[in-house]
C-alpha cells in the first residue's frame, strides 16, 4: 500500500488514512514508515471561531494555490458522530468544485471526542500526505477556542480567520488564538463592518507589538477579492522559512504533551488489539465491583511491556 500512496493513488491514500485513524496494525506500520516528511511539502493551519467562513476561504484559496503548486491536500477536522465516530460534515459538500481534480485530495478527519483543534492522528496523516507527493497541506480545525492552538505545533503557517459581526476579534484575544497567527484574515470583507474589524485587529497587533511578525489581510471568499493577495502573503512567509522546516514531523513543534498523547494512543492500541484473558478478567471484575477502576488500570499498565514485546 505504501508504494501506491507514494504513487499518488487517491484510493490507496484514503485507505491508508482510514487505517491510521482507526489505529489498526497496518495504520501503525504506515505511520512509522512515513515519519520523515518531504522537504518540499509546506503546511498551512486555518483556524478561527465558528461562522467565520474557514471552509469557504479554503475553497477560494484553492483557486489561487493550484496554478502555483502542483498538488494540494485539505484536511478538515470535523465533529464526530457519537455513534460511529465518523465525521459528520462532508468534505465534498463544502469543496465539491475541487473534489474531482486529480491534484487535489480532500479528507475529513473525525475529532472523536478530542478537545483540541486537531485530532490525535492528524500529524501522522500529514506525514502520509507528504509522502504521497503533496506540495501544500492545509489543515482546517474545529472552531472550539483555545485548544485550537495545537495547530501551531503542526503547521508552518497559521491563519486565523475572523469575520465582521461575530465579535471574533475579542473572542480571539480571550481564547488565545490570536497569539498563534501568522496571518489574520478578515473574511467576508464585502459585508458591513469589515473595515472596522480589520482596523480593530491591526490596533491589537500594534498594542501587542506584533505588527512586524503578523499581518491582517481582508478577503471575500464569495467574490474572490483579496484572495490573490493572501496567497502572495503565504508564499512570502514560505520563502522566509528555513528550507527544512517541514523535513520531519519529529523535530519542530513536538512537545511533551504530544509525546504523552502518542504514548497513550500506542498503549490503547495494544490493549484493544491484544487478545489476553487477563484484560477481559480485569474488565469483568471492575464491572462486578470486586476490583476498582484504578486497580484494573494498574493491572493492564503492568501488562503493556509484555504486549509490546510480543508485537516486535
By percentage, how much of the chain surpasses pLDDT 70? 72
State the pLDDT at residue 186.
Answer: 84
pLDDT higher than threshold 60 for residue 181? yes
Q: What are the backbone angles phi and psi of residue 209, rounded to the nearest 5°?
A: 75, 30
Dist. CA 3–CA 132, nearest whole Å? 9
- 89 pLDDT more than 60: no
What pLDDT does residue 290 have? 92
CA–CA gap between residue 15 and residue 136 (Å, rounded): 20
Helix (H) / strand (E) element for 80: namely: none
Rounded to an integer, what distance in angstroms lies between the CA atom of residue 260 and that of residue 110?
Answer: 20
Residue 213 has pLDDT above 60, yes or no: yes
Q: Which residue did the predictor score with more confidence, 172 or 137? A: 137
CATH number of 36-248: 3.40.50.300
Is a pLDDT exceeding 60 seen at residue 8? yes
Beta strands in 122-248, from DSSP E residues, in sequence order = 136-140, 157-162, 183-186, 215-218
pLDDT for 274-297, tens place per residue?
888 899 999 999 999 998 999 999
pLDDT, residue 250, reads 43
Name beta bridge partners: 157: 44
pLDDT tier for residue 113 given thresholds of 50, 70 and 90: low
Mean of pLDDT values over 22-42:
80
pLDDT band at 166 (very low <50, low <70, confident <90, very high): low
Q: Which grid cell is 209?
A: 507589538
Q: How far apart are CA 45 and CA 140, in angstroms?
A: 6
pTM of this structure:
0.75
Nearest-angstrom CA–CA distance, 279 and 207: 56
Calculate what percentage of the chain has a pLDDT beyond 90. 21
Give me the residue spans of the domains in the chain: 36-248, 257-311
d(CA 284, CA 2): 40
- Contact assessment for residue 246 and residue 263, using Cβ atoms and an 8 Å cutoff: no
Output the CA torsion sign for 198, 204, 206, 212: negative
Q: Poorest-confidence range of 37-46, 192-201, 206-215, 290-299?
A: 206-215
Closest CA to 3 of 131, 126, 188, 173: 131
Mean per-residue pLDDT over the chain, rounded: 78
Dist. CA 48–CA 53, nearest whole Å:
9
Cα separation, 7 vs 104, whole angstroms: 14
Q: Greater confidence, 115 or 3? A: 3
Average pLDDT over residues 12-29: 89
Amino acid at each position: 500500500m505504501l508504494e501506491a500512496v507514494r504513487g499518488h493513488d487517491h484510493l490507496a491514500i484514503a485507505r491508508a488514512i482510514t487505517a491510521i485513524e482507526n489505529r489498526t496494525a497496518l495504520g501503525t506500520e504506515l505511520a512509522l514508515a512515513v515519519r520523515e516528511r518531504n522537504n518540499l511539502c509546506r503546511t498551512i493551519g486555518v483556524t478561527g471561531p465558528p461562522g467565520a467562513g474557514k471552509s469557504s476561504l479554503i475553497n477560494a484559496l484553492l483557486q489561487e494555490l493550484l496554478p502555483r503548486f502542483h498538488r494540494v491536500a485539505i484536511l478538515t477536522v470535523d465533529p464526530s458522530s457519537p455513534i460511529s465516530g465518523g465525521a459528520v460534515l462532508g468534505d465534498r459538500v463544502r469543496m465539491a468544485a475541487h473534489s474531482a481534480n486529480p491534484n487535489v485530495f480532500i479528507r475529513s478527519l473525525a475529532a472523536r471526542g478530542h478537545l483540541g483543534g486537531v485530532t490525535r492522528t492528524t500529524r501522522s496523516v500529514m506525514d502520509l500526505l507528504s509522502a504521497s507527493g503533496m506540495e501544500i497541506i492545509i489543515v482546517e480545525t474545529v472552531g472550539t477556542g483555545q485548544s485550537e492552538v495545537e495547530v501551531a505545533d503542526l503547521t508552518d503557517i497559521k491563519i486565523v480567520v475572523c469575520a465582521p459581526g461575530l465579535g471574533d476579534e475579542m473572542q480571539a484575544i480571550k481564547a488565545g488564538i490570536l497569539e498563534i497567527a501568522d496571518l489574520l484574515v478578515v473574511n467576508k470583507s464585502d459585508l458591513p463592518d469589515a473595515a472596522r474589524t480589520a482596523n480593530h485587529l491591526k490596533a491589537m497587533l500594534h498594542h501587542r507589538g506584533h505588527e512586524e511578525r503578523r499581518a491582517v489581510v481582508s478577503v471575500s471568499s464569495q467574490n474572490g477579492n483579496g484572495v490573490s493577495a493572501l496567497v502572495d502573503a503565504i508564499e512570502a512567509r514560505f520563502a522566509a522559512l528555513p528550507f527544512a522546516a517541514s523535513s520531519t514531523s519529529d523535530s519542530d513543534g513536538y512537545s511533551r504533551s504530544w509525546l504523552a498523547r502518542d504514548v497513550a494512543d500506542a498503549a490503547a492500541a495494544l490493549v484493544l488489539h491484544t487478545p489476553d484473558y487477563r484484560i477481559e478478567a480485569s474488565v469483568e471484575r471492575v464491572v462486578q465491583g470486586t476490583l476498582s477502576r484504578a486497580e484494573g488500570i494498574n493491572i493492564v499498565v503492568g501488562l503493556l511491556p509484555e504486549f509490546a514485546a510480543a508485537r516486535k
